[in-house]
Structure 1
Amino acid sequence: MLDDVAVVDAYGVPRNKEGQIATIVEYSNTMPEFYEEVRVLSLNSWLHFPKHLIQQVCLGKAHCHRVPLADYGDMPHIFRIEERLSEEERERIVRDSERLLEDHPTYNMFWANCEHTTNMVSGAKKFTSPEVHFMFWSLFRYLLTLVGLAFLHFLTLRCYSRYCLQDFQWTLGAYYACTALPVLLQILVQFSRMAWNMVSCYLQNLISKDDLYHLLLKELCRAIFNGVLALGFLVWAPDFWHFKEGRLALSVAVVFAYYASDMVYALMAQVVTRLLMNNHGKYWLIGGSCLTREQELEVKAQALSEKTQALSKTGLGQKAPRRKAQKMA
C-alpha cells in the first residue's frame, strides 16, 4: 500500500486523506495484455508462439507499476502481512516502494518474483521467496520418488539375478528412503515451522488465542491426516506390485500421494471452517479468546484494579462505624 485509506466514496473507491485514489505497487498484468505481448514477440507465428509463451511466463509475465486499490474491488479476499510497525518503518516501506517503481528488477519467476519484492520492501528487508524454496524442495522430492519407483520397479520386479534376490531388503529400504522418508520429514518440518510461527505471532500480539488454537489444531490434523493417508499408502504400495495391470496407476499414485492427501485435507478444512463460521460466527468454540495476548493482559489488569478499588472502598466503609462507636464510648 502506498496510501492510507481515509474514506471510501459513494462509488466504492478507496481514497487517501487528500481525496485522491489510494494506490498500491505490485507486479501484475492482464490476460489480454499478456497475450498481446507474446503475440508480438512471436511475430504472429504460431510456430514460435509456445517458445515465447513459456519464456514470458517464466521471465516476464508481470510488470512493476502503480495500481489503484479499487481495481481489486471485485476480489472476495485480499491477503495482507500482519506486522507491528512503527510510523518510521511504515514511511520507510512507502519510500522503498516508490523507489521500486523507478528502479525495479525485471520479473523472474524464480529469482525476482512478487514475493521477492514484497519481502524486500517489508519489515523483513530480505530479497527472498520461501515459495520458490518450497517449489524446489517439492521438485527434489518428486525426483526422489521417481528414483524410489525405479528401485522398486526395475530391481525388484524386472531383475531376477541372484544379487537382486539376495538384496531384496536393501532395495525395499532404498524405496522407502526415497519415497516415505522425504514425506515424513516434510510433514514434521512443516508442522514444526507452522507451530513456531503461530506461537510467535501470538506472543507478538498479531493473532488472538482463538486464531492460535484454530491454526495449531488445523495443522496438527493436517500432519496426522497426511501421515496416515500418504505415508500409509507409500508404505503399503510395494505389497500391491504383484498386480501387473495396475502398476502404472500405482506408480502415478505413489508420486502424487502426498499432494493428493494434502489437497483433500485442505478442501475438508475449508468446508469445516465455513460451516463453523456460518453456524456459529467463529471458527473456535472451546475456550480461547478473541483478544490478543496484550489485550487479555490489559483486561486482566483492569479487572484486578477494579477489584482492588472495590475492596479498598469496602474496607474504609467498615472502619468508619467503629471509630464513631469508640468516640461515643
Structure 2
Amino acid sequence: MITLNVLRCLSPWVDYLVSLMGSLELFHLYHHFVILDDVDHVDEFGVPRTQEDHIVDIMEYSNTVECFIEEVRVKTFGAWLSLPRVLVQTALNKARCHRVPLADYGDMPHIFRMEEKLSNEQRERIVRDAVNLIENQINYNILWANCEHTTNLVSGKQQYTSPEVHFFIWSVVRYVLTLLGLASLHVVTMRCYSRYCLHYPVWALAAYYTCTALPVLAQIVVQFGRMAHTVATSWRKSLISRSDVYHLVVKELCRALFNGALAFGFLVWAPDFLKLADGRYPLQISIGIVFAYLGSDAVFALLAQVATRILVQTKGHFW
C-alpha cells in the first residue's frame, strides 16, 4: 500500500511529497493494491520487472484527477444544474478495478508491505482472485467497496472490511464533537460567565470537556490498545522480531503519553487560557482546540522519525 493521493499524476513533486508524508506518519490514510507478480529486479529506468523481464503489474481500484474531471464533464453533458449530483455520484464511485504497472507509482517511493506468512498455494490463490476481480469487478464505493475492502477480500485475511473507513468516520465524529464543544465554550460558557450568570456554568464546561477532551483521551487509549494487540499478534505469528516489538511498544507508549500531555492537557486547560487571555486570542485558541490532537500527533511523529534515524545512523539499529 502507499499513502492515499487524490492528486496522483498531477506533479511528480506532489506525488513525492504525499508519499513522504505517509512515511513520516503525518498522514494516516493509505491506498491498497495487490502486486500480481514477483519483483525480481529493477531496471535502469527504475521499472520493477519479473524474472522473465516482464513489467510487474498490480491490481487496484484507482483513477486520476484528469479522468475524474472528464467523467464529470461527460456525465453532465452541458446540463450544469446536475453538476452537484454528478459530482457526488462520481466521487463516491470514482475508481475502476484494473491492472496497471507498479512503475506507475515511481514518484511515490514509500511503499508499505503487509506482512503475512503465506504458502505458495495461498499466494497463487490471491493472484488468481485478484485477476478474477478485475474481470468481474465490484462496483467501487468509497465507503463500503473501496480499495481496502477488495484488497482484504483477496488477501490472506479474506475479510471484506476497511478499518480506514472506521477510522475516518470516527475522526469526522470527533471533529464534529469538538466543534460542538467549542460552541459550548464560546457561546455559553464565556458569555454566560462574563456577562449574565451569577454561578459558574458547570454544565457548559462539562459539555465542553465531554465533546473535546474525552474523545481525544478515548482515541489515545484505544489506539494504543489496538496497536499493542496488533504487535502481540504479529509477534506470536513470528512476523516481527523482538527488537521490533520493543521499538513499536515503546514508541507508541511515548506517543500516548506525549499526546495525552500535549493534546489532552491543552484541551483541559483551554477554558482557562481563554479566560486569562481576556478575549484577545479567541481564534487562535479555537484553532488549537480543533487541531490539538492532530498537531500533537504530527509533532510526535516527526520527533520519533528524527530519533529513529539518529539511532540508525549512530548505532546501526533503532533498538
Fold shared by both chains (TM-score > 0.5): yes
Q: Which amino acid aligns with 1:261?
A: S
Q: Which of 235, 247, 270 pairs up with 2:305? A: 270
Closer, same or farther: CA 12–154 of 1 in aligned 2, 3 Å: closer
Structure 2: stretches of 5+ with no match in the other structure:
1-34
Q: Which amino acid aligns with 1:22?
A: V
TM-score by length of 2: 0.79
d(CA) in 2 for partners of 1:16, 1:253: 50
* CA apart distance, 1:41: 3.2
Closer, same or farther: CA 3–53 of 1 in aligned 2, 3 Å: same
Is 1:191–2:221 an aligned residue pair?
A: no
Is 1:151–2:184 an aligned residue pair?
A: yes
- Give the corresponding residue for 1:211: 244
Structure 1: stretches of 5+ with no match in the other structure:
285-329
- Give the corresponding residue for 1:172: 205
Tell me if structure 1 keeps the 8 A contact 2:193–2:201: no
Is 1:85–2:126 an aligned residue pair?
A: no
- Give the corresponding residue for 2:279: 244
Larger Rg belongs to: 1
Q: Which of 38, 42, 46 pairs up with 2:72? A: 38
* CA apart distance, 1:174: 2.2
d(CA) in 2 for partners of 1:78, 1:125: 22
* Segment of structure 1 superposing worse, 89-98 or 7-16: 7-16
Q: Which amino acid aligns with 1:276?
A: L
- How many residues align? The count is 283
**Greater helix share, structure number:** 1
* CA apart distance, 1:9: 5.1
- Give the corresponding residue for 2:91: 57
d(CA) in 2 for partners of 1:274, 1:47: 53
d(CA) in 2 for partners of 1:245, 1:255: 18
d(CA) in 1 for partners of 2:77, 2:212: 45
Tell me if structure 2 keeps the 8 A contact 1:116–1:128: yes
Tell me if structure 1 keeps the 8 A contact 2:193–2:200: no
Q: Is the partner of 1:26 in helix, strand or coil?
A: strand
Is 1:256–2:291 an aligned residue pair?
A: yes
d(CA) in 2 for partners of 1:161, 1:55: 48
Q: Which amino acid aligns with 2:190?
A: L
* Segment of structure 1 superposing worse, 34-43 or 220-229: 34-43
* CA apart distance, 1:12: 4.8
Mapping of 1:1-329 within 5 angstroms? 1-8=35-42, 12-43=46-77, 52-53=86-87, 55-60=89-94, 62-159=95-192, 165-166=198-199, 168-242=201-275, 243-284=278-319
* CA apart distance, 1:3: 2.0
Q: Which amino acid aligns with 1:197?
A: T
d(CA) in 2 for partners of 1:64, 1:187: 35
d(CA) in 2 for partners of 1:180, 1:234: 6
TM-score by length of 1: 0.77
Tell me if structure 1 keeps the 8 A contact 2:40–2:48: yes
Tell me if structure 2 keeps the 8 A contact 1:218–1:269: yes
d(CA) in 2 for partners of 1:201, 1:155: 48
* CA apart distance, 1:5: 3.0
Q: What is the percentage of aligned positions where both structures have the same residue?
A: 60
* Segment of structure 1 superposing worse, 215-224 or 83-92: 83-92
d(CA) in 1 for partners of 2:53, 2:249: 42
d(CA) in 2 for partners of 1:27, 1:128: 15
Q: How big is each residue's C-alpha offset from its partner over 1:149-196, in whole Å with a ceiling of 9 and x where there is no partner?
A: 232223222337999544622322222122111111110110111011
d(CA) in 2 for partners of 1:11, 1:153: 58
* CA apart distance, 1:40: 3.0
Closer, same or farther: CA 43–246 of 1 in aligned 2, 3 Å: same
* CA apart distance, 1:127: 1.3
Tell me if structure 1 keeps the 8 A contact 2:178–2:290: yes
d(CA) in 2 for partners of 1:151, 1:7: 59
Tell me if structure 2 keeps the 8 A contact 1:151–1:175: yes
- Give the corresponding residue for 1:294: none
d(CA) in 2 for partners of 1:199, 1:278: 28
Tell me if structure 1 keeps the 8 A contact 2:308–2:318: yes
Q: Which amino acid aligns with 2:239?
A: L
- Give the corresponding residue for 2:20: none
Tell me if structure 1 keeps the 8 A contact 2:192–2:201: no
Q: Which amino acid aligns with 1:198?
A: V
Closer, same or farther: CA 252–45 of 1 in aligned 2, 3 Å: farther
Tell me if structure 2 keeps the 8 A contact 1:155–1:164: no
